[in-house]
């Protein structure tokens, strides 16, 4: 029982430590993966280039890898844009919540003529 409680406490602590860092960790893992992927693709490209005299195979490798890089950058751009928008929305919400511009009466919205009007 104590082991279970200790494990849950430890997992909770690790999760609380990792939670704000998850974005950076995933970005680092994606970059490391792309480095290994690009290296293996380069080795495949060299191997195919030696076997064939056609230049179209090399061009297909270049186009494919450029498209993968483009997709990764577009994803990262939209991810950062959404984070900026989220922070901006939170800042606006906090600003609205802090404002206390309440009025005591609806007379504030009426003109003087409407207030002194006799029916």
Boundaries of every domain in the chain: 23-97
pLDDT digits (tens, 9 = 90+) for 45-92: 788 778 877 666 667 777 877 888 888 788 888 888 888 888 888 888
DSSP 20: G
pLDDT band at 107 (very low <50, low <70, confident <90, very high): low
Would you say the C-alpha torsion 97, 102, 106, 112 has a positive or negative sign? negative
- Per-residue pLDDT, 112: 67
- Per-residue pLDDT, 10: 83
- Per-residue pLDDT, 55: 60
- pTM over cut 0.85: no
Q: Packing angle between helix 56-98 and helix 22-51, nearest 10 degrees?
A: 170
What is the b/e burial string over 79-98, where b = at least 16 CB atoms within 10 angstroms of the residue's CB? eeeeeeeeeeeeeeeeeeee
117 has pLDDT over 80 = no
Of 74, 1, 103, nearest to 9 (Cα)?
1
Q: Kind and range of the H or E element at 47? A: helix 22-51
Pull the structure tokens for residue 71: 């997709």
What average pLDDT score do residues 85-108 get?
76
Quote the mean pLDDT of the chain: 78
- Per-residue pLDDT, 113: 67
Q: What residue spans of 52-108 are helical by DSSP H?
A: 56-98
What average pLDDT score do residues 11-20 get?
83
- Per-residue pLDDT, 100: 63
């Amino acid at each position: 029982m104590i082991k279970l409680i200790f494990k849950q406490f430890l997992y909770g602590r690790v999760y609380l430590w990792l939670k704000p860092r998850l974005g950076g960790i995933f970005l680092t893992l994606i970059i490391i993966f792309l480095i290994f992927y690009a290296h293996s693709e380069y080795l495949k490209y060299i191997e195919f280039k030696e076997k064939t005299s056609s230049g179209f195979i090399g061009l297909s490798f270049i186009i494919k890898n450029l498209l993968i890089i483009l997709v990764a950058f577009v994803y990262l751009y939209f991810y950062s844009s959404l984070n900026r928008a989220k922070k901006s929305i939170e800042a606006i919400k906090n600003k609205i919540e802090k404002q206390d511009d309440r009025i005591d009466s609806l007379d504030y919205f009426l003109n003087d003529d409407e207030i002194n009007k006799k029916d």
